[in-house]
Amino acid sequence: MDFSLPVHTTYKDIRSDDYFSGQCPLCGSTRLTIRTSRIRELLDLGSTSEKVIVRLDVVTFRCKKCTGQFTPEHPLYPPKYEYSRAIIEYALTRFHYHNASGKVIARDLTVLHNVPVSEATVYSWLKRHSPAFLKVKLANQPAQVPKHIKAITIDGSYVDLGKEIIGKKKHAESFSVTKLEDGRYLLMWWE
């Protein structure tokens, strides 16, 4: 197998009528005119051999009946983001379900999915979207709601997700890390 092939770029074109019903959200009329139109490019999850770029048709409509103006939003490509919702959910899932740090998530997105994203951007997503993400995920699986959430990373990274996720912080009076003979680490702390 030849692993020296270059990464190829795939463009995914999405027209406005693919995600918009054609009705004014203000009055329900179908008598619309296009006010402005542009193509918005966003990164989406790819693979090690494929970079995926979405070209989203963003249209601002004007209703002839009520004279209102609106721009429909695609549910998978949030406005004001240069990344797809799938990438943001990937980061949130890796952090909350696999204990991956922002540094590891950014590295994996770059290496495995051809999505160059900074560690700071990943942490901004975690801070902004974690409360809503956890609320939905834990509501679907109430038995998995942890009694206490305590987090530490050993790869040198740190993030403060605030009181919304972990509640009020308590200082540990003593904390120790011991490397065991088999290479695992034993963490102990007293409160």
- The model's pLDDT over 152-166, given as tens digits with 9 standing for 90+, comes to 555 444 455 544 554
Residue 97's φ and ψ, nearest 5 degrees, are -105, -20
Tell whether 78 is covered by a domain: no
H helix or E strand, kind and range, residue 77: none
Residue 177 pairs in a beta bridge with: 187
Closest CA to 80 of 44, 109, 40, 46: 40
Residue closest to 62 by CA, chosen among 79, 37, 92, 38? 37
- pTM metric for this prediction: 0.71
Q: Per the structure, how many domains does the chain have?
A: 2
Residue 1 forms part of a structural domain: no
Both 64 and 95 in one domain: the answer is no
Same domain, 64 and 93: no
CB count in 10 Å sphere of residue 132: 11
Q: Which pLDDT score is estimated for 89?
A: 94
Q: Are residues 57 and 100 in the same domain?
A: no
Both 90 and 65 in one domain: the answer is no
Residues 20 and 89 in one domain: no
> Would you say the C-alpha torsion 163, 169, 121, 112 has a positive or negative sign?
negative
Assess if residue 95 is contained within a domain. Answer: yes
Structural domain boundaries, residue 137: 85-190
Residue 80 lies in a domain: no
Per-residue pLDDT tens for 103-119?
A: 999 999 999 999 999 99
Does any domain span residue 109? yes
Q: How confident is the model at residue 88 (pLDDT cuts 50, 70, 90)?
A: very high
